[in-house]
Structure 1
Amino acid sequence: MTKKRKTSAEKRDSKLTLSMTGTEARALRARAEERKMNISRYIVARALGRSDATLRDTARRQDTAAALTDAARSLEEISTAIRAASPHERLEISTALLSVERALAVVAFPKRSQDEPADGLAS
């Protein structure tokens, strides 16, 4: 998937120098890292009034993308392994697939009760 090109208005070509104490810089870095943002993006987001909820959503989307990438990699490995699998190995592969499903469900449905089945049907 290719990235969409930024228009000239969207390009980040302006630089700004900030003066602060080492303690302030460490605090800003820590807060930016908590939200999985670089420090420039964090400062701009906070200064332009984006809420903590918006910043958390950005971090959550990044976590989701990372989890989906990991899942895709796992599925590729499983797909390769299943071709030469014995019946016992196929059972192990099925177990691995269930683990992938659960990992995706945790990311996709974070508020779902741990007791609720993955298919969403309560018994």
Structure 2
Amino acid sequence: MPEPAEMSRPDVAKMSGGGAPGNEGKNPVANGHAENDSNPFAEYMWMENEEEYNRQVEEELLEQEFLERCFQEMLDEEDQDWFIPERDLPSVGQIQQQLNGLSVSDENVEEILRKSILNPEAKEFVPGVKY
């Protein structure tokens, strides 16, 4: 916007288009643009492509929604792949029930030893030691 000191210049004061270059001889309109004598609806020409603009904005919104949905699905799949103890491990009550169901008995030990093909006289295996 020209400074008030610049408005007092004789060449600017003579302009009827509000002092904007290229608007000489054109009357200013309420919106600040120069009036176009050839087309009285020039200020409304943006509405000509309003449907195309609306379609483009709608496509952009749908694309953004699609990307957000894909991103959320990706996060959900990633959560399923990760080990989360609270979700993936049984509760303490379930573990306690399983432990209560276990028992050790000496009844079958003799029978298992008779059927075994292991050598009771063999040395104890120690990893990394050669015999």
Q: TM-score, normalised by structure 2?
A: 0.26
Higher normalized helix content (fraction of residues): 1
Q: Which has the larger radius of gyration?
A: 2
